[in-house]
Amino acid sequence: MGGNKHWFWTWENEKLTYIAHSQNFDYATIESEFPNGLPNSVIVCDGWRAQASKPAKHHKMCLANLHRSLNYLNQKYNAASWGIAFAKLLQNALQLNKQDCALDKYSVDRINIADELIKLLENPPDKKQKELYNFYKSMKRESQNLFNFFELSI
């Protein structure tokens, strides 16, 4: 509008969609719309700090956004091994989440996924691959919110 960028923010649940207009893309908008946070809600985001830092009942990572980011990063950095391994980890976690959690194998597979996440976060990609390294830092910062869908039945 008038050469300036504007944003439409969207929050939704099963019944409602709330849309807010803003001239910025930062924490101030979230704070003005929800000054007390979202204490009874689950915030699903892609690791963007403004969303991830807002108080809520739970935070979850949007795995579809993470997959899109990894597809781009793996193309940009010629299928960097760290990006490929992280994409595979996400895919394995999603497949496991579809299984019956009463199966004995489910618990073992969950432990294997957690172990693989730890290994990947302890072995970052090359810092020269700047965008992939930034993705890694985001995943390290938000690791507690990556696979909590195993515990949350929302």
Q: pLDDT by residue (tens digit) across 134-148? A: 999 989 988 888 887
pLDDT for position 30: 80
Give the Cβ contact number of residue 141 at 10 Å: 12
Give the Cβ contact number of residue 43 at 10 Å: 21
Q: Which residues touch 123 (CB under 8 Å, ≥6 apart)? A: 82
**142, two tokens:** 């938000």
Residue closest to 61 by CA, chosen among 138, 8, 117, 5: 138
What share of the chain in percent tops pLDDT 70? 87
Q: Of all residues in the chain, what percent are helix, strand and coil, respectively (each to 5)?
A: 50, 15, 30
> What's the whole-number mean pLDDT along residues 112-123?
93
Give the Cβ contact number of residue 131 at 10 Å: 14
pLDDT for position 119: 96
pTM, to two decimals: 0.76
pLDDT for position 128: 94
Distance from C-alpha of 39 to C-alpha of 74, rounded to nearest angstrom: 36
> What's the whole-number mean pLDDT along residues 67-76?
92
